[in-house]
Structures are given as C-alpha cells and as structure tokens.
C-alpha cells in the first residue's frame, strides 16, 4: 500500500479510474523511456540499500523524523525522484 498510495491522489486529480490498470509507477516510466530492466532493478536495489540506515535512524531516533523526512524530500526532489517535470507525460 505504501508504494501505491502516492499515485492515488494524482490519478484522482487527473480523473483516471482507480480500478483500471495503469503504467505510471517510476520503474514502468523508466523502462518506457529507454532504461533497461537491469538498470532499473539495480537502481531500485541501491535505493533500498541506501534507505536501510535511514529507516534505522528514524526508528532509533524518533525526534529526528521530521529532519529525516525533509532531507529525503530535498534529495529526492533534487534527483527528480518525486518532483514532476514538464516533460513528464502520462503513459
């Protein structure tokens, strides 16, 4: 549910039916734009490995959660992981 939840508000905004299949997940868009399946898989694995210590810090130091979240949003936005671009077109 965590990986699909961010897509629901966007699909509602674009008036796309939630019960229909779609191709708007990041890995699907990456492959559709020319990235190989291997590259997408390795990138997802590296992101998971990088986020493991972040998850540990968030669970160990709950008072830091806001700063951790803001840091992830800034880094993710900088690398284009969460901020839409004007070239993005729904599939």
pLDDT digits (tens, 9 = 90+) for 17-59: 777 777 767 777 788 888 888 888 888 888 888 888 888 988 9
Distances in Å between the Cα of 2 and the Cα atoms of 5, 6, 7, 36, 86 are: 5, 8, 10, 25, 25
Residue 1 has what pLDDT?
A: 43
Residue ranges of domains in the chain: 1-35, 36-83
Percent pLDDT > 90 in the chain is 2
Q: Supply the DSSP string of 4-37, one letter for each residue.
A: TTTHHHHHHHTT--TTS----SHHHHHHHTT--H
Give the confidence band of 78 by pLDDT, cuts at 50, 70, 90: low
22 within 8 A of 91, measured Cβ to Cβ: yes
Q: Which of 59, 55, 37, 36 is nearest to 47 (CA)?
A: 55
Give the confidence band of 83 by pLDDT, cuts at 50, 70, 90: very low
């Amino acid at each position: 549910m965590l990986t699909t939840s961010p897509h629901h508000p966007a699909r509602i905004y674009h008036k796309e039916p939630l019960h229909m299949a779609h191709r708007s997940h990041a890995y699907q868009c990456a492959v559709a734009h020319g990235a190989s399946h291997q590259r997408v898989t390795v990138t997802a694995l590296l992101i998971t490995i990088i986020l493991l210590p972040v998850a540990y810090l968030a669970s160990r130091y709950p008072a830091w959660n806001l700063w951790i979240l803001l840091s992830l949003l800034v880094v993710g936005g900088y690398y284009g992981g969460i901020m839409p671009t004007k070239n993005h077109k729904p599939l």
